[in-house]
Structure 1
Amino acid sequence: MATFGPLDVEDVYVHPHSQIQQRFYRSVGLPPFLFVDVCIQTHGREVVFGPADAFLGLFDRDGVLKCGAAPTMQIEAEAEALISRRWHWILVEKEVRRGHPLEALASYHAEVLEPLTELLRLRYAPHKIGYGLKHIYADLPAEVTRELESLYALTHPDDLRGGMEQAGRWMDELASTLT
């Protein structure tokens, strides 16, 4: 029987969902990007993968793993909740006016770009809500990720206003298709 060999990485990831346990392993001498990701989920957890998700369920005797799309009502409610947070954008302006560029940038990312990214996920990959930027290049069209990159690339406080204007126009467009 073959063995995995001595490990140089054995990491336990404390997952935010209480019904998921995840561990990462890598054997000594392997390239840094070659590792095993083991994710174990309790039987009672509802698991629905999207049509584009690649997954391998080794032990699913009861057929709890399912493929499907997010229900339309859930998408609409999620979109409305994200759009309603738009008033938080004033926090970016507040920090710019105070001369706090790091706090302005942090607010721009948290209050403008994160909700925009989630709206884009609702539009293009509704089965991957809450993934943030993880797998973004696989989940969104290339022209969308390029535009999103341009908004994330802004770092100077004077540029954040323009980024918010662009993000606002984009959110309005997404709102008309999602709600």
Structure 2
Amino acid sequence: CGVSGQRILEPPQELWRAGARELAHGVVERLSVARQALAEVGQFLVEIESRGPMELFGHGSTAGWFAETARISPNEARDTVARALALNESRNLDGTPAPAFAPIAGAAAAEGDLGHQQLDPILAVLKKIPDDASADDRTGAEQILVTLARHAGPQEISNVGAELLAHLDPDGNE
């Protein structure tokens, strides 16, 4: 889990002089950097989880420790840790690697392309894929959703996800 291509951005100066293109570029660039940083926070949280928060910090859970450290709600911390564990490879207790649940989405997050607003609906869809679906179907669905999410919002991701699920499980849950 190395640090991805770090970009140091000049602080905005005299924004009132900037044109529409410069303003838009500034927003997009900084959003990407913020998303990369949050993906890296997730990588740290996965490492803390794999070593054990009690061992490292005397805390019962990674989410509980993170809530205190980041000064956020327990629910937000729990969601952040669960998302990080789904997106990143981790280690089992015996030290063997545990693959990420959604490695394509994790890579897009690390590149700064996706934030939690896109990642959460992707993960929600992937978790509903039937257990009997093939690995290729699962990977294909993830790739479709990640490609879409680079240019779409949460509702569109959920809508396409519902179509994918209907295709993968035509009989539904009944």
Structure-1-length-normalised TM-score: 0.25
Quick check: which one's helix share is greater? 2
Q: Which has the larger radius of gyration?
A: 1
Structure-2-length-normalised TM-score: 0.25
